[in-house]
Amino acid sequence: MRDFIERAWNAGDEAVFEEHIAADLAHPGGRDGFKAIVLGFRSAFPDVPMEIRDIFGVEDKVVTRWTMRGTQRAAFLGIAPTGRHVEFDGIAIDIMRDGQPVDGWAQFDRLGVLVQLGVIDPSAFG
């Protein structure tokens, strides 16, 4: 997972998907759908690094806690480029088979990202 994060998220290496992600990944659109999400995010935030805060394995799972930072330079989730910098934390739990993720979940501060992009006014929450 560490190599995948460095090469896919941080370097934009498209070849790493076939090498590190199971062909039958349980994700909408499978491996190609996941690849499209990563590359789309990197397109919107081209200066994004994913900093690994913690990473460890338990049985067939790998847990990664991370922080991402970047400046929005292209459309993201239908939001026109803002030029704003965002920083947010997330966590992913991947189920592994033969060293490759076959399923998993990820959560990150989506609301915080939308506030930082200026799409949502934080005063609306009191």
Top CATH class of 2-121 equals alpha beta
- The residues of the chain scoring below 70 in pLDDT are none
Is there a contact between 95 and 88 (Cβ–Cβ < 8 Å)? no
- How many helices (DSSP H) and strands (DSSP E) are in the chain? 4, 4
Domain ranges across the chain: 2-121
Report pLDDT for 125: 81
* Residue 75 phi, psi dihedral angles, 5° rounding: -55, 145
Report pLDDT for 124: 84
Is there a contact between 66 and 51 (Cβ–Cβ < 8 Å)? yes
Is there a contact between 17 and 29 (Cβ–Cβ < 8 Å)? no
Length, in residues, of the chain: 126
